[in-house]
């Protein structure tokens, strides 16, 4: 089961603000660093590269996907405010943990979320 988030204006125009509980799903960040690069496969099988960074100071370690890889994903998928992102993982004995990100839009005719 994945963790879901509906996209906000900031998510569409700047960077993807991850819910704090997503930190446990991401690759570990090396000691002394505040970011990690990782690859994800989308719902259609394409591979995307993201950089997740976490604030170094303050009480809230809010993680974000930096704009470079994230905005390529947003533009390619044609994402808008209110569309949904689902992040999940799958254990793989040969390749380690595989990360998946699914972009979804609501099909109003059948009231179901569909991968784009």
> Residue 65 gets which letter from DSSP?
E
Alpha carbon of residue 14 to chain centroid: 13
What would the pLDDT profile of 79-99 be if each residue is shown by its tens digit?
999 999 998 887 766 666 788
Range of the domain at 93: 3-115
CB under 8 Å to 11, separation ≥6 — which residues? 5, 17, 74, 81, 85
Q: CA-CA distance, 43 to 102, in Å (whole number)?
A: 5
Read off the CATH number of the domain in which 14 is found. 2.40.330.10
Task: Tell whether the torsion through CA atoms of 56, 59, 29 and 45 is positive or negative.
Answer: negative
Q: What is the pTM of this model?
A: 0.85
What would the pLDDT profile of 42-77 be if each residue is shown by its tens digit?
988 899 999 988 876 666 667 889 989 999 999 999
How many separate domains does the chain show?
A: 1
**Residue 46, H or E segment:** none
pLDDT (average), residues 20-32: 75
Tell me, what's the pLDDT at 58? 65
């Amino acid at each position: 089961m994945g963790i879901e988030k509906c996209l906000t204006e900031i998510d569409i125009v700047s960077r993807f603000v991850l819910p704090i509980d997503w930190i446990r799903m991401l690759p570990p960040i090396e000691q002394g660093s505040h970011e990690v690069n990782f690859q994800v496969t989308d719902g259609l099988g394409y591979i995307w590269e993201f950089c997740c960074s976490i604030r170094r100071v303050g009480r809230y370690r809010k993680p974000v996907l930096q704009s470079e890889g994230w905005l390529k994903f947003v533009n390619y998928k044609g994402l808008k405010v209110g569309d949904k992102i689902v992040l999940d993982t799958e254990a793989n004995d040969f390749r380690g943990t595989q990360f998946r990100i699914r972009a979804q839009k609501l099909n109003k005719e059948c009231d179901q979320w569909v991968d784009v």
